[in-house]
Amino acid sequence: MAGLRNESEQEPLLGDTPGSREWDILETEEHYKSRWRSIRILYLTMFLSSVGFSIVMMSIWPYLQKIDPTADTSFLGWVIASYSLGQMVASPIFGLWSNYRPRKEPLIVSILISVAANCLYAYLHIPASHNKYYMLVARGLLGIGAGNVAVVRSYTAGATSLQERTSSMANISMCQALGFILGPIGERAILLGGLIVVWVGFFILLPWGNQFPKIQWEDLHNNSIPNTTFGEIIIGLWKSPMEDDNERPTGCSIEQAWCLYTPVIHLAQFLTSVVLIGLGYPVCNLMSYTLYSKILGPKPQGVYMGWLTASGSGARILGPMFISQVYAHWGPRWAFSLVCGIIVLTITLLGVVYKRLIALSVRYGRIQE
């Protein structure tokens, strides 16, 4: 009996062939990986959905006041309640739908509804009147889209065995809670996180280990000019582009003394660094402009934005010139160490003024952050 109970606890509810108990018990490795890949995608779906909910929730009241000054706190209550109302109505419908049709259908429909609702929310300022009612509709539609939580939990319950289900359900709740926590962090923390990611990217680029690069030894030539005819020169120019690239000298040039004592940078280091810097840089760029705009407040920002853009352009002019000279004379270790030092200095300055990096309206108590 104990053996049968353990066997049933390890048996998923779902199989490729409905009602095929043998398939579920004798699960193949490929089916197992596919099943858990789907579950982990749903974890990510729950996390992103919660992040979006918490970010938008912070902006509802100031946004409502801006698009429709006639809206009061009483109407705000209706706007907030419309989300829960939409989710309450949609959840059993999506759950019933997923029982009779493939679960991807209600998931796709709910995601499309959420996208449409967010687009409507983003353009609420365009209508000439009744903007607050459009917000009410947008939040209600977003709640309907959030009804896919029932489908996510239903799929997870059906795709896991009794033994796996507790941890899987806990992971869904954890992703949902983590999304609610990380959503309201705001631009300052995101900017700080982006800087840290960029710093890690450049730190990974630093040469480590005991493997040194190949040295490119150049042939020494005297100052004598060989006696060559014009025809020989033409033939030499014709042959040189056709030479095999493999025959050309490779490695670190002997003219750069640091090649003799600087370890190589491996391909894995380079690719990892490119990914991290590629992720961190646009985040820092976006958050810098966003914070700068909010700190300036409702005043005309053309000149200030011009100066900010000009400062970035100046850095992109002077930076490559400076770093290339450092690289040529002292190598990648010094070059990337200096970049890491500059980023650390930036993070330090950000930490010093961290509490002051708030919107002008928040600073003067007009809107709560």
pLDDT in tens, the chain (369 residues): 444 444 444 444 444 444 444 444 566 788 888 888 888 888 887 787 777 777 777 778 788 888 888 887 778 888 888 888 888 888 888 888 887 888 788 888 988 998 899 899 888 888 888 888 999 999 889 888 888 777 777 777 777 766 676 677 777 777 766 666 666 666 788 888 889 999 999 999 888 878 887 776 654 444 444 444 444 444 454 454 444 445 555 667 777 788 888 888 888 888 999 899 888 888 787 777 777 777 776 666 556 766 777 787 778 778 888 888 888 888 888 989 999 999 999 999 988 888 887 776 666 654 444
Same-domain check for residues 81 and 180: yes
Q: Final residue of a domain: which of 152, 184, 216?
A: 184
Phi, psi torsion values for 365, nearest 5 degrees: 75, 15
On whether both 143 and 214 belong to a single domain, the answer is no
* Whether 9 contacts 24, CB under 8 Å: no
Written as one letter, the residue type at 314 is G
124: domain CATH number is: 1.20.1250.20
Helix and strand numbers (H, E) in the chain are 14, 2
Same domain, 301 and 315: yes
**Of the residues 131, 158, 184, which one is the last residue of a structural domain?**
184
Q: Which of 128, 305, 279 is nearest to 193 (CA)?
A: 279
Residues 109, 178, single domain; the answer is yes
**248 in the same domain as 148:** no
Question: How many folded domains does the chain comprise?
Answer: 2
Please tell me whether residues 85 and 147 are part of one structural domain: yes
Q: Residue 82's domain spans which residues?
A: 2-184
Of 184, 202, 234, which residue sits at a domain end?
Answer: 184
The answer on 291 and 154 residing in a single domain is no
Q: Do 203 and 108 have their domain in common?
A: no
Whether residue 176 sits in one domain with residue 113: yes
Any idea of the CA torsion for 297, 301, 304, 308, to the nearest 10 degrees?
90
- 317-349 burial code (b ≥16 CB/10 A, e <16): eeeeeebeebbeebbbbbbbbbbbeebeebbee
Q: Does 191 lie in the same domain as 147?
A: no
Q: Are residues 157 and 219 in the same domain?
A: no
Q: Amino acid identity, residue 329?
A: H
* Contact in structure between 262 and 334 (CB atoms under 8 Å): no
231 shares its domain with 269: yes
